[in-house]
Amino acid sequence: MPDAAPRRSGRTEQSGTVSVPDEPEAGPPTTARRPTPGDPPRRSALDPAVAARLRRTADGLVAAVVQRHGTGEVLMMAWMDDEALHRTLTTGRATYWSRSRQEYWVKGATSGHHQYVRSVRLDCDGDAVLVTVEQVGAACHTGAGNCFFDELPVTGTITDPQEDR
């Protein structure tokens, strides 16, 4: 059953309260066509020093693993391009690139299941980011609390983890 947390207009951090609007502020359009091979790179306001550290897929994307702040629960995985990462870092609202819809989406803009960003970390290879969020409502589009509810059977188990060291 999805979390039933109330909508919030702000969040508390060590430095005090940070105001987070209930709805995204007006800004650039949320849709854009993904570049195809041979297209010039699309411009983004992402800090060039951050952009230089990213290792993207052929489609210009990096994996975004999303984790619940406080518990460490892995909630979902999505994709970001430079602009989605820029929007996430500057608005405090998790923004992703939808490969199926070919548009940006702010988590919660239509569902009400918002993700308020607490931190973003780049992995050691630069090909993934870890986004730590305060999740309001379900994280999964199915209505589940997280997207990792379909456990697969593991048949090759190790009885003594020390054996592999």
* 46 token code pair: 């992402």
Domain range for 52: 44-149
CA 84 to chain centre: 9
CATH of the domain at 67: 3.10.20.810
Q: Is the pLDDT of residue 17 over 80?
A: no
- Residue 48, domain member (yes or no): yes
Query: pLDDT at residue 106 above 60?
Result: yes
37 in a domain, yes or no? no
pTM of the model: 0.72
Q: Which tens digits make up the pLDDT trace of 57-98?
A: 999 999 999 999 999 999 999 999 999 999 999 999 999 999
C-alpha angle 92-47-80 in degrees, rounded to nearest 5: 55
Any domain includes 85: yes
Give the H or E element holding residue 159: none
In a domain? residue 10: no
Number of domains in the chain: 1
Q: Is residue 39 part of a domain?
A: no
**pLDDT above 70 coverage of the chain, percent:** 73
**For residue 7, is it within any domain?**
no
Closest CA to 86 of 67, 106, 66: 106
Structure tokens at 94: 């998790």
In a domain, 3, yes or no: no
Strands 74-80 and 103-106: unpaired
Dist. CA 145–CA 155, nearest whole Å: 27
32 lies in a domain? no
